[in-house]
Amino acid sequence: MTSTQTLLRTADVDDVEGITELHTQARTAYYAAGGVPTAELDSPEAYARRGEGWLRAVRADDMTVVCAEQAGELAGILMAGPPYEPDVDAETVGQLYQIHVRPGSWGQGVGGRLHDEFVRLLRDASLATGVLEAWARNSRAQGFYVRHGWRPDGHHRPGPGGADYVRMRLHLAQQGLR
C-alpha cells in the first residue's frame, strides 16, 4: 500500500464550499449506513445549512477549523472549540465538534492526523480533557475514538433516526498525552 502524505492547514472562507461537500459525503455515508433516509441528509436546504455553519465556524474567534489535504485535495476536516453543554467546564475542557474524512480516504491516516491535531490544540490551550459526541449507530467513529483513548461519560442526547448521540471524553494525563 502506498502512503500519501497528509498536510494540515487552517481553513479559510475559500475552503467552505469544499468543506461542506466533504462533510455532506461523510455524514451521508455514516447516517445512511445507520438507517437514516438519504433524502433527509443531502437536501439542498440541509446542504445550505451546513455551509452556513461552516462559514460561521471558519470566521469564529473561538473555533478552529483545520483542513487535511492529500495530493492537493481536501481529504478531511476538523472543527474544535469550547464545549456546548453547560455541565462541561470550559476552563479545563475543549470540544472536538467534528472530524470528517472523505469516504474514499478512510483508512489512510487522515483521521489520525486530525485527531493528533486536536490533542495538540488541547495541550496548546492548557486543557486537560477533550469531549465529543458520536452518533450511537456510527460504530466506525466510536471505534476510532476508543482506539485513541476516548471513553463514554454516560451523557446522551437525542440524535437522528431514533439513535442518541453518546458523549465521550479523552483525559490527556490518563493517556500519557499531556
Neighbours of 51 (CB within 10 A): 17
- Helix (H) and strand (E) counts for the chain? 5, 7
The 10s digit of each residue's pLDDT in 89-121 is 999 999 999 999 999 888 899 999 999 999 999
Please report the pLDDT score of residue 31 as a whole number.
78
* 16-33 helix and 44-59 helix, angle to the nearest 10 degrees: 130
Instruction: Please compute the mean of the pLDDT values over residues 56-76 and round it to a whole number.
Output: 96
> Can you state the percent helix, strand and coil of the chain, rounding each to 5?
40, 30, 30
Q: Is 4 exposed, middle or buried (0-12, 13-18, 19+ CB in 10 A)?
A: middle
Instruction: Please compute the mean of the pLDDT values over residues 60-79 and round it to a whole number.
Output: 96
Please report the pLDDT score of residue 36 as a whole number.
74
Instruction: Please compute the mean of the pLDDT values over residues 140-164 and round it to a whole number.
Output: 94
- Is pTM beyond 0.85? Reply is yes
